[in-house]
Structure 1
């Protein structure tokens, strides 16, 4: 059975750079590490979540533009803060919300669950394969030399972030560019993923209660993905003591 202490040690070493908090003092990162997942195709519960998310998006955008939804508007402002153009590189929650009105993708139950909750709770959530990490996650402002493995024109390639760009990284390189815009191929979830890291990126006006609701919903869904599932989570904020919880 997986050991929760291993997950807690992994999360305890995660950091958010002071330069990121200087850019957005209201930023919080809730990290959820899970092991013991039994991979599987979409099921009744993941399908119900996706349907709820699609219905929510259709109703929310019936009279309000996607970019004017409060949490998405906050993230667009954050992107502008480090020089990104949100109309060209959309935060993950905006991209999913736009797609939800026409139908969210059905990939596998692990991916479907976090995509649906991202839309329903209106916060960016990244999901990555924990076994593919080299060291613990760090959120930094890039110097522009960090490697990022991606695909361009159908070919695997190494790119580099722009200097000053907010990126998630580990010891081997960038795992997600522009805060929560595009994830790298090295740590991406697959149909065989049995251990995962979920990063919930939070800005005002999302409240602590709203964040807790989203995190509890995600962990409840993860807990049903196998009899030996083990979960740990940790909140990092400017004012936190940065202790696991």
Structure 2
């Protein structure tokens, strides 16, 4: 599956510094928030907010016509929620890494995908869940063969692919803009791997980095 995931050239034309580290995790054991994942969130909440990284995402939103004060980049919205929300162990893990590195991360149930994920600029007629509304032409969206999986780059994900306590196979999208370095992006991926492996010692993780339209 990793080989089929793509980012359209139009997205790289909008932000040539964009890169995404894609991780798949097979054999997860998820469950409700526990003392371990709660401690991860509490530690992440003590980190100083890295505003320059978040500002880069606000600029990216403005570039395709979104208003980041109204529909905030995911990491901006997350860092404004203190204490950090408790969802489930796997979501707590990637939210921990997201806040620590000021890095938007999406996590979704791989078994609920229809076809590969791809990041595109919307035509405006993509199928989307009612609560999210229809994407606007030119908006950056993640989608699969069915329709939208995440609107406005990383603003909000659909319910269809949401990670639940029953999820066993997942995909994680770690999205980078400058000033974050590619080295820090890879480090964040390694840290997420460590947390997922702590939750599920038998998990099988694979990754792929997409950058520069490749």
Give the TM-score normalised by structure 2. 0.96
Give the equivalent residue in structure 1 for 2:17.
26
Q: CA-to-partner distance for each residue in 1:107-160, whole Å, 9 max, x for gaps?
A: 1111111111100111100010000000110000000000111437xxxxxx32
Tell me, in whole angstroms, the C-alpha distance in 2 between the residues paired with 1:39 and 1:104. 19
Give the equivalent residue in structure 2 for 1:79.
61
State the secondary structure of the residue aligned to 2:129: strand
Tell me, in whole angstroms, the C-alpha distance in 2 between the residues paired with 1:150 and 1:120. 32
Gaps of 5+ in 2: none
2:107 to 116, 120, 127: 127
Higher radius of gyration, 1 or 2: 1
Give the equivalent residue in structure 1 for 2:206.
232
Give the equivalent residue in structure 2 for 1:189.
163
Give the equivalent residue in structure 1 for 2:182.
208
1:96 to 78, 82, 85: 78
Tell me, in whole angstroms, the C-alpha distance in 1 between the residues paired with 2:130 and 2:169. 22
Tell me, yes or no, if the aligned pair for 1:130 and 1:196 is still in contact at 8 Å.
Answer: yes
State the secondary structure of the residue aligned to 1:71: helix
Tell me, in whole angstroms, the C-alpha distance in 2 between the residues paired with 1:33 and 1:12. 12
Matches within 5 A, 1:1-245: 10-56=1-47, 60=48, 69-99=51-81, 102-151=82-131, 159-238=133-212, 240=214
Q: CA-to-partner distance for each residue in 1:5-52, whole Å, 9 max, x for gaps?
A: xxxxx1110000000000000000110100101122223432221011
Tell me, yes or no, if the aligned pair for 1:28 and 1:202 is still in contact at 8 Å.
Answer: yes
Note closer, same or farther for the CA distance 1:150–1:185 as it changes in structure 2 (3 Å cut). farther
Give the equivalent residue in structure 2 for 1:3.
none
Q: CA deviation at 1:223?
A: 1.6
Q: CA deviation at 1:226?
A: 2.4
Tell me, in whole angstroms, the C-alpha distance in 1 between the residues paired with 2:191 and 2:37. 12
Tell me, in whole angstroms, the C-alpha distance in 1 between the residues paired with 2:115 and 2:130. 20
Tell me, in whole angstroms, the C-alpha distance in 2 between the residues paired with 1:210 and 1:28. 12
Q: CA-to-partner distance for each residue in 1:67-100, whole Å, 9 max, x for gaps?
A: xx0100000000000000000010000000111x
RMSD: 1.4
Moved over 3 A (4+): none
Q: CA deviation at 1:239?
A: 5.9
